[in-house]
Structure 1
Amino acid sequence: MPLADHLRELRNRLAKGLLAIVVASIVAGFYNKQLMDFLAAPVPACEQGQSNTGGKCANIVFNKLLSPFTTTVKVTLLAGVVLSCPVWLYQLWAFVAPGLHRSEKKYTYYFVAAAVPLFMAGAYLAYLVMPISVKVLISITPDAAGNLLELDDVLDFTVRMVLVFGLAFELPLLLIMLNLVGLVTGRKMIHWWRAVVMGVFVFGAIATPTTDPIGMIALSGPIIVLFFGAVGFAMLNDKRRARRNPDAELDDDEASHLDLTPEPVGRIESVSAARALPEQAGADADGGRTPRVNGYDDIT
């Protein structure tokens, strides 16, 4: 299609995706209290008559006049984006798919089929780890102080944890895709295991918005297991590729193996080949030139 038609189609796809988000957000608005209770569940709330000093529990409060409204809008929009993801993801796919080849579409199906469960597993693990992380964080509170947490801060903490865990679980899938397109081999990946393990633990310590080691271990452990799973898949794929094409693993500046075994040439074929060649123009005994064959020398 012309560029204007592509832009018009992109506008229509975006409009449909945004409409789905708005409708899902309106529906989620009727359950905003349940959503807020769900997001605040990892925080150990103080019971009636219980003091929030000493780092044992915390009270969720709003310190600004507009905080209840803005937090409600943020929660409903977040729920709308999550609930409507099948619609806007389909609109994105419908815009991109016509430009892909059949093999590229097949790999895209595999990628989405694996990416969604991995992200959901990371998000679920984050929600399981959050209560422990919150308890460790508020336990640092001195005995003379108390904990008053804004629901907006709790929401930001939850979203960050879910996104960090969910996206981190996509790293092995990225390595598998790089192996499928031939950019990295399983042998190279296994040579990186020390650096990868160290880098994953450092990433877990920096990415998790907590200071406790529980979140770091909960994030780093599954990623390392998934990394070695990706290495195993890459090595099996390399063996399959080598059976189909022995020269597939060669570098760009590396020569392929040549068969230098001499083959016998028959006397009749050699004689006929020699007769088929014209005589070369060379110097004779008197220093002159031999006549050309059919008016041409060996070059022309």
Structure 2
Amino acid sequence: MPLLEHLAELRRRLLWSAAGLLIAFLACYHFSFQIYSFIAHPLVAVMKSRGEEPTLIYTQLYEAFFTYIKVSLYAAVFVAFPLISTQVWLFIAPGLYRSEKKALLPFIVATPVLFLAGAALAYYVIFPTAFRFFLSFQTPTAHPAADGMQIELMARVSDYLGLVMKLVFAFGVAFELPVALTLMGKVGILRSKTLKKFRRYAYVGCFVIAAVLTPPDVLTQTGLAVPLIILYEISILCVRLVEPKLDEE
């Protein structure tokens, strides 16, 4: 295909992706409050379990509006991802051999599945535990050492959304570790023996990555580091299955 036809095809795929994203954004904005309520549910559930009134505030006139815009955009990317990934595949697939398509297809399918698994772990396991830990630092006026002073959480809607999306993205991307390592093993860049040799350094790296991507508390960092270590061990097995066999082996 000539260069101009490649560019025309790229333009067509980008237009389809942009149109799908715009339609998804408009639909998600209509349900932005319900989507935000779903995102805030872990915090709300923990506050209700403590007998507290679940309240989120905003301190600037435009803060709630732009928070709903961000919520709609995040949700639209999630909803439109199948269409966007399909358009990307339709653009690159004609340039691949049949064997290359067969080799890449499992990785393409596994990528969103593992991302959702990481996001689900963060939402259903990490968030309730972390929020319960953070809320434990509130001090009611009835506390013996409070002396009439009360320390109470007043979470902002934008700050909460930023924290939640950062953790969801961190866990989702971290769960792509088997895909990345297995793909490198498939093309011969990595060997399972190499991964075993540097296992101890990888464990340390998992905790470092968790410390960088998550808030500075031990619970959340451990909640990401331990799954990363497990995924690293799974990656060793996957690389062993797909790596090219050397003559001397």
Please, what TM-score do these two structures have when normalized by structure 2? 0.87
| 1:119–1:170 Cα contact (<8 Å) kept | yes
CA distance in 2, matches of 1:234, 1:163: 25
Offset at residue 142 of structure 1 (A): 5.3
| 1:136–1:212 Cα contact (<8 Å) kept | no
Offset at residue 193 of structure 1 (A): 0.6
Higher relative contact order (CA 8 A, sep 6+): 2
Offset at residue 145 of structure 1 (A): 2.4
Structure 1: which amino acid aligns with 2:232?
A: F
Offset at residue 189 of structure 1 (A): 0.9
Offset at residue 237 of structure 1 (A): 4.1
Work out whether 1:89 is the aligned partner of 2:93.
no
The RMSD of aligned alpha carbons is 2.1
Indicate which of 206, 219, 224 corresponds to 1:219. 224
CA distance in 1, matches of 2:77, 2:238: 33
Q: 1:151 to 1:181 in 2, by over 3 A?
A: same
Paired position in structure 1 for 2:189: 183
* SS across alignment from 1:59: coil
Offset at residue 212 of structure 1 (A): 2.3
Structure 2: which amino acid aligns with 1:223?
A: L
CA distance in 1, matches of 2:177, 2:115: 10
CA distance in 2, matches of 1:33, 1:126: 21
Show the 5 A alignment for 1:15-164: 15-44=15-44, 59-128=55-124, 129-141=126-138, 144-164=150-170
* SS across alignment from 1:60: coil
% identical equivalent positions: 32
Structure 1: which amino acid aligns with 2:11?
A: R
The unaligned stretches of length 5 or more in structure 1 are 52-56, 250-300
The unaligned stretches of length 5 or more in structure 2 are 141-149
Q: Which has the larger radius of gyration?
A: 1
Please, what TM-score do these two structures have when normalized by structure 1? 0.73
CA distance in 2, matches of 1:198, 1:131: 26
Q: Figure out how many residues of one structure are paired with residues of the other and give that number.
A: 236
Paired position in structure 2 for 1:7: 7
Post-superposition Cα deviations, 1:124-168, rounded to whole Å, max 9, x if no partner, equal 001021122122223334553222111111111111111100110
- Structure (1/2) with the larger helix percentage: 2
Offset at residue 203 of structure 1 (A): 1.3
CA distance in 2, matches of 1:79, 1:176: 29
Offset at residue 236 of structure 1 (A): 4.0
Offset at residue 83 of structure 1 (A): 0.6
CA distance in 2, matches of 1:15, 1:142: 54
Offset at residue 30 of structure 1 (A): 2.4
